[in-house]
Amino acid sequence: GQSLEQPSEVTAVEGAIVQINCTYQTSGFYGLSWYQQHDGGAPTFLSYNALDGLEETGRFSSFLSRSDSYGYLLLQELQMKDSASYFCAVRDSGGFKTIFGAGTRLFVKA
């Protein structure tokens, strides 16, 4: 089956850079997505990587290595508002089901 692993918590200082890792095991792979969820809110889409390499969107970047079954989300110039949970997600081998990691809780300190 499919599974994703990511750290449960990460703490960083305002203005710093933080990397949230995600390793996955899938029988078929269609790409890795990232979502952000603030407390009490709904998940919001951040990025999607289908091919190896780095995708940059403003302060957020996402990286994928298909050979290592590994990806990460990089947040630069951290702000207090970045305190949230971050989920990585993949589509299952059949392509009609999305599996989410358990989420990484990011705490940004002043």
18/103 with CB nearer other proteins: 103
82/101 with CB nearer other proteins: 101
Q: What would you report as the CA-atom Rg of the chain, rounded to the nearest whole angstrom?
A: 13
Distance CA 106, CA 101 (A): 14
- Per-residue DSSP letters for 40-95? TS--EEEEEESSSEEEEETTEEEEEETTTTEEEEEE-S--GGG-EEEEEEEE-TTS
Q: Are 9 and 109 in contact (CB under 8 A)?
A: no
71 touches other proteins (CB under 8 A): no
44 touches other proteins (CB under 8 A): yes
Among 62, 91, 106, 108, the residue binding other proteins under the rule CB under 8 A is: 91
Among 12, 19, 92, 105, the residue binding other proteins under the rule CB under 8 A is: 92
Q: Kindly state the smallest distance separating residue 92's Cβ from other proteins, in Å.
A: 8
Q: Contact positions toward other proteins, by CB under 8 A? A: 30-31, 33, 35, 41-45, 48, 50, 87, 91-92, 94-103
